[in-house]
Amino acid sequence: MSFMPVILWTDALIFALLAAVLALVWFIRRHEHLLAPWRVVAQRPMAMGAALVLGAFVVIGLLDSLHYRERLADSPADAPQYSVEVLSVFDALVSGLRTRQEKTYSAPLAMQLYAKEFIERDGETVRDYPRLKYGGAHLAQADDHRHDIARRALVGLAQGLAVSLLLFGLLAAWQGRRTQMDFGVWLTAWGTGRLGWPGRTVVLILAIMLMLAGVLVQLASGYHVFGTDKVGQDVLYITLKSIRTGLVIGTLTTLVTLPLAIGFGIAAGYFRGWVDDVIQYVYTVLNSIPGVLLIAAAVLIVQVYIESHPEVFDTAAARADVRLLALCLIMGVTSWTGLARLLRGESLKLRTLDYVEAARAFGVSHARIISRHIFPNVFHLVLIAIVLDFSGLVLAEAVLSYVGVGVDPSMYSWGNMINGARLELAREPVVWWQLGAAFAFMFALVLAANLFADGVRDAFDPRLGGRR
């Protein structure tokens, strides 16, 4: 084999989570009353548009979670040796971005380095901005620079548009066949927004995303679209790699939170009495410690462990991964209290309802009452909490990395990007592209998550929604 698959801890958990989500989708599809609120979500243009953007992020994140190590070219076949560098399928797809490394900073789409150097020109040594090794290297003349960029952008736009139109045609054909509609009729229904689902928004957002992707691909093949960082690495590549980190923190943390919040919250509300007292005590204690400090303390401890047990980790990626997982665990342990409190309150209310009394009148066991009567009726709150917490966690990563208790400094993450670029703001002229790229991608992900969360909450909690 020319490569060896590597399954990091977070990879395993991510795919376990994916499997769980798919199982849940399958389950929900079979239950009409569970499906109904999702139909409401599916009818909201804002939520569906956001879901599309989220989907794009998730695909990149998943591709970036399939890891492997390449076999060293000169190693013997019977005793293969593998590179210490852990790559992912995503890396393979964008290998150009990864390998085209410059010397140091360069501005977005630039042809020259950001810093002056002594270079040989016409036999003389002058101090000037040198041409980049890769960015715009295909251009013989510096004058063609703007023209080339415009051309590539247009080509990318056209390609994106073409793909969108193709997809739209396929969609129309499929939909037309399914609903027995004439193409023209379907098109009018689509154009006037009477499809029963937000067709216009979905198609529009998809087209915009495809065109953006087209432009990016075209430009990235010849330039560093977002420039390069201090060590000359492509910022677009770093930003895209950071997506996985954001997603892992946003999802795995919740995964840690859920069993704690659901177990303790429902137990406290349902059993009351001393169980409630103990659980309330635990969560008041946890709540009272400032979150950042608790996370900081725990992360410092993990750091000590990692540094004193170097033999456990065979690669740097595995080390960084364990630290990421530890961060998710710690944030999960410190953030279950909010949801637990909510579930406790709801369970307190539910346990007095007549259908629970009716079950008690039959002598139904506590475990059964909780699993059949309480849990299904608080599940919507859990779901709302998952989607609402996601964006907050992505934002928190940046802050924690800034404080120095976030992900491993060697890991690609928006927090590390911001932290690394912050000091460069003092330079003249300013190195802004790293910050800009990190903030822009983070904003896109968080905004999409928030808009989607809004849609989910309105559909699942009619008390808050509906009055829009």
Partner 1 sequence: MKPLLEVRDLVTGFGATRVVDGVSFRVSAGEIYALLGESGCGKSMTALSLMRLLPDGGRVVSGSVQLGETDVLTLPERDMRRVRGGQMAMIFQEPMLALNPVIKVGEQIGEALALHRKLTGQAGRDAARALLDAVGVPDAARRLDSYPFELSGGLRQRVMIAMALAGEPRLLIADEPTTALDVTIQAQVLDVLRRLRTEQQMGMLLITHDLGVVAENADRVGVMYAGELVEEGARDAFFASPQHPYSRMLFEALPRPGDGGRLTTIPGQVPPLDGSLVGCRFAPRCPHAVARCRSESPDWQAINDQRVRCHLAGALPASSVRDVTVQTAIPASQPLLQVAGLKVHFPIRRGFIQRTVGHVRAVDDVSLDIQAGRTLALVGESGCGKTTVGKALLRLIEPTAGSIALGGETITARNASTLRRQAQMVFQDPYSSLNPRMRVADILLEGMDALGVGNAPQRRGAVAQLLRQVGLPDDAGSRYPHAFSGGQRQRIAIARALAVSPRRVICDAPTSALDVSVQAQILNLLKDLQQDLGLAYLFITHNLAVVEYLAHEVAVMYLGRIVERGSAADVLRAPRHPYTQALVSAVPRIEPHAGEGIIRLAGDQPSPLNPPRGCHFHPRCPHASEVCRQTYPGQTDLGNGHWVRCHWVAGQP
Partner 2 sequence: MFAYILRRVLYAIPILIGVNLLTFALFFVVNTPDDMARLQLGVKHVTPEAIERWKVEHGYDKPLLLNAEATGSAQFTDTIFFQHSAAMFAFEFGKGDDGRDIGNEIRTRMGPSLAIALPVLVIGLMVNITFALLMVFFRATYLDLWGVVLCVVLMSISGLFYIIAGQYFIAKLWNLLPISGFAGGIDGFRFILLPVLVSVVAGIGSGARWYRTIFLEEIGRDYVRTARAKGLSEVRVLFRHVLKNGMIPILTGVVVVLPLLFMGSLITESFFGIPGLGSYTIDAIQAQDFAVVRAMVFLGSFLYIVGLILTDISYSWVDPRVRLQ
Q: Which residues bind partner 1 (CB under 8 A)?
A: 32-33, 353-355, 357-365, 368, 372-373, 376-377, 467
Pairwise CA distance, residues 105 & 372, whole Å: 59
- Judged by beta carbon distances under 5 to 8 A according to partner kind, the member of partner 2, partner 1, none in contact with residue 22 is none
- CA triplet 386, 11, 74: central angle to 5 degrees? 160
Among partner 1, partner 2, none, the one that 372 touches (CB under a kind-dependent 5 to 8 A) is partner 1
Q: In the bound complex, what is the minimum distance in angstroms from residue 194's beta carbon to partner 1?
A: 15
- The least CB distance from residue 355 to partner 1, in Å, is 4
Binding segment (CB under 8 A) for partner 2, from list 1-9, 256-264, 374-382, 397-405: 397-405
Beta bridge partners of 4: 69
**The only residue of 262, 446, 456, 459 in contact with partner 2, by rule CB under 8 A:** 446
Does 425 interact with partner 2 (rule: CB under 8 A)? yes
**Residue 43 in contact with partner 2, rule: CB under 8 A:** no
Stretch of residues binding partner 2 (CB under 8 A), selected from 58-66, 114-122, 288-296, 353-361: 288-296
Asked if residue 278 binds partner 2 (CB under 8 A), the reply is no
Whether 83 contacts 4, CB under 8 Å: no
Q: Which lies closer to partner 2 via its Cβ, residue 378 or residue 418?
A: 418
Residues with Cβ < 8 Å from 24, sequence gap 6 or more?
none
For residues 260 and 264, give the distance between their C-alpha atoms in angstroms, rounded to a whole number.
Answer: 6
CA distances from residue 305 to 7, 249, 322, 383 in whole angstroms, order as listed: 21, 21, 11, 35
Q: Which two tokens stand for residue 218?
A: 């075209």
Nearest to 104 by CA among 94, 121, 117: 117
In terms of CB distance, is 117 or 277 closer to partner 1? Answer: 277
Residue 400 is encoded by which pair of tokens?
A: 């924690």
Instruction: Report the partner that residue 274 touches, choosing among partner 1, partner 2, none (CB closer than 5 to 8 A by kind).
Output: none
The DSSP annotation for 147-198 comes to: HHHHHHHHHHHHHHHHHHHHHHHHHHHHHHHHHT--HHHHHHHHHTT-SSS-
Please tell me the distance from the alpha carbon of residue 181 to that of residue 190, in angstroms, as a whole number. 12
Which residues are CB-contacts of 179 (< 8 A; sequence separation ≥ 6)?
186
Closer to partner 1 by Cβ: residue 33 or 127: 33
Q: How far apart (Å, rounded) are the C-alpha atoms in residues 10 and 244? A: 10
The answer to whether residue 141 forms part of the interface with partner 2 (CB under 8 A) is: no
Q: Smallest gap, in angstroms, from Cβ of residue 304 to partner 1?
A: 45
Of residues 154, 289, 312, 353, which one binds partner 2 by CB under 8 A?
289
Say whether the peptide bond before residue 429 is cis (omega within 30 degrees of 0): yes
Pick one of partner 1, partner 2, none as the site partner of residue 353 (Cβ within 5 to 8 A by kind): partner 1
Residue 404 lies near partner 2 (rule: CB under 8 A): yes
Residue 268 interacts with, from partner 2, partner 1, none (CB under 5-8 Å by kind): none
Q: Which stretch binds partner 2 (CB under 8 A): 74-82, 130-138, 156-164, 450-458?
A: 450-458
Is 333 an interacting residue with respect to partner 2 (CB under 8 A)? no
Task: Return the structure tokens found at 391.
Answer: 């964006």
Of the chain, the end-to-end C-alpha distance in Å amounts to: 57
* Contact set with partner 2 (CB under 8 A): 281-282, 284-285, 287-290, 292-294, 296-298, 300-301, 303-304, 307-308, 391, 395, 398-399, 402-405, 418, 422, 425, 430, 435, 439, 442-443, 446-447, 449-451, 454, 463-464, 467-468
